[in-house]
Amino acid sequence: MTIQFIGRPGIVDLGWGHPDPESLPVTQWAAANASALGRYGWAALTYGAGPGPAPLVDWLCARMAETDGRRPDPAEVFVTGGASQGLELVTSVLTQPGDTVLVDTPTYHLALRVLADHRIHLVAAPVDDIGMLPAATEELIGRLGRVAFVYLVPTFSNPTGASLPADRRRALVGVGARTGVPVVEDDTYRELSYAGPAPDSLWSLDGDAVIRLGSFSKSVAPGLRLGWITAAAPFVRRLADRGFVDSGGGVNHAVALAMAEFGSSGAYARHVDAIRDRYRERRDALAGAVRRHVEAAEFTVPDGGWFLWARLPSTVDTEVLLDRAERAGVAYLPGARFYVDPPSTVDFLRLSFSMLGTAELIEGARRLGRALAERQPAG
């Protein structure tokens, strides 16, 4: 097996949160890689600096000054092998087996898998339709006693596509500061904004209370396995002090140097502009087709990210509907997968518009509408 995606003949699969293969910058990356090897020679191929190579760290700081509310200091950056590895690392540093971690609901389902490997208790933080409730979360932290951290995806969330409003961002960061419980902000989708700039990160509001996970998986390519963390300098030093970093050096040194070239040459900014246009168009195609073919679905068109989070009539269990949908030739991710403690019936589903072309997205929505109609015969 060469790649993670497994296609199923006859099925329009709206379940995968993977990039459009045609959007991946093969030629531009080859140029960046050649440029890094030309510029750094052997230094690109030996062990790298623990927190990541300075050319990438410096470029990242400059980029974040444009795309976020605060420019990090280089000492606040640690280059990772992607947001997943960032979460794995942060969890290793902050938790012992048996600890409690609070998570948003719904939230990125595979983050739940990363956390579960650490044998910690996952507890759903209090939420409403808009997102995490800061005051109730603070109260829950008080009741639980020790909480290792709080995890959420506040910007263009997976799975909802929604962003936490500014007042809740401020309040949540205040909870982190008052309680001393770190807020772990998964900021994977920041660059994929389709309606103006993304909201300022939680990290930009308080760099001591928040640990932010960044990623190049959505903005460039997941196969690079490259991302970063911004956090308070002492926490970055703790990460760099890990034994495996001491032993192996920077976690993805050669790719990080190629990324520095990709960034400083202007290729990154051009690429991000191009994929924003591409994904905006696909979002609109899927949203339009769902409106047309799945009339009972309720959803908000997301301002960024890769997902449309739709609610079907409350009598529909989307886990049960999936079987019928697959027989109709379409797949999606049922909403229950994004909950720590799913209720007995979840009427939400996640449709991804990142990987498939416009015609397939429209066909997928048509098939979903058919599967739903078969389930609920007219009259």
Ligand X SMILES: Cc1ncc(COP(=O)(O)O)c(C=O)c1O
Residue ranges in contact with ligand X by CB under 6 A: 17, 82-84, 108, 153, 158, 186, 188, 215, 217, 222, 227
8 A C-beta contact, residue 160 and residue 170: no
8-state DSSP, 24: S
Which residues, 6+ apart, have CB-to-CB distance to 343 below 8 Å? none
For the CB of residue 372, give the shortest distance to ligand X in the complex, in Å.
Answer: 26
For the CB of residue 111, give the shortest distance to ligand X in the complex, in Å.
Answer: 6
Residue closer to ligand X (CB basis): 253 or 366: 253
Going by C-alpha positions, the residue among 311, 308, 327, 258 that lies closest to residue 25 is 258
Write out the DSSP string of 61-107: HHHHHHHSSSPPPGGGEEEES-HHHHHHHHHHHH--TT-EEEE-SS-
Q: Between the CA atoms of 279, 282, 284 and 290, what dihedral angle is there, to the nearest 10 degrees? A: -140
Cβ atoms within 10 Å of 114's Cβ, excluding its own: 18
Quote the distance between the C-alpha of residue 47 and its chain's center.
Answer: 29
For the CB of residue 90, give the shortest distance to ligand X in the complex, in Å.
Answer: 12
Residue closer to ligand X (CB basis): 33 or 215: 215
Residue closer to ligand X (CB basis): 162 or 362: 162
For the CB of residue 217, give the shortest distance to ligand X in the complex, in Å.
Answer: 3
Q: Which helix (H) or strand (E) holds 211?
A: strand 210-215
Residue closer to ligand X (CB basis): 51 or 329: 51
Pure H helices in the chain: 26-40, 54-67, 83-94, 109-116, 134-144, 166-179, 202-205, 233-240, 243-248, 253-264, 267-293, 318-327, 358-375
For the CB of residue 16, give the shortest distance to ligand X in the complex, in Å.
Answer: 9
Residue closer to ligand X (CB basis): 222 or 263: 222
For the CB of residue 104, give the shortest distance to ligand X in the complex, in Å.
Answer: 10
For the CB of residue 307, give the shortest distance to ligand X in the complex, in Å.
Answer: 8
Residue closer to ligand X (CB basis): 84 or 137: 84
Going by C-alpha positions, the residue among 265, 271, 276, 224 that lies closest to residue 79 is 224
> What single-letter amino acid sits at 5?
F
Residue closer to ligand X (CB basis): 305 or 329: 305
SS3 42: helix
For the CB of residue 374, give the shortest distance to ligand X in the complex, in Å.
Answer: 31
SS3 306: coil
Residue closer to ligand X (CB basis): 328 or 349: 349
For the CB of residue 114, give the shortest distance to ligand X in the complex, in Å.
Answer: 9
> What single-letter amino acid sits at 81?
G
Question: What pairing do the DSSP bridges indicate for beta strands 333-334 and 348-352?
Answer: antiparallel
For the CB of residue 222, give the shortest distance to ligand X in the complex, in Å.
Answer: 5
Residue closer to ligand X (CB basis): 83 or 147: 83
Residue closer to ligand X (CB basis): 152 or 371: 152
Token digits for 252? 């993805």
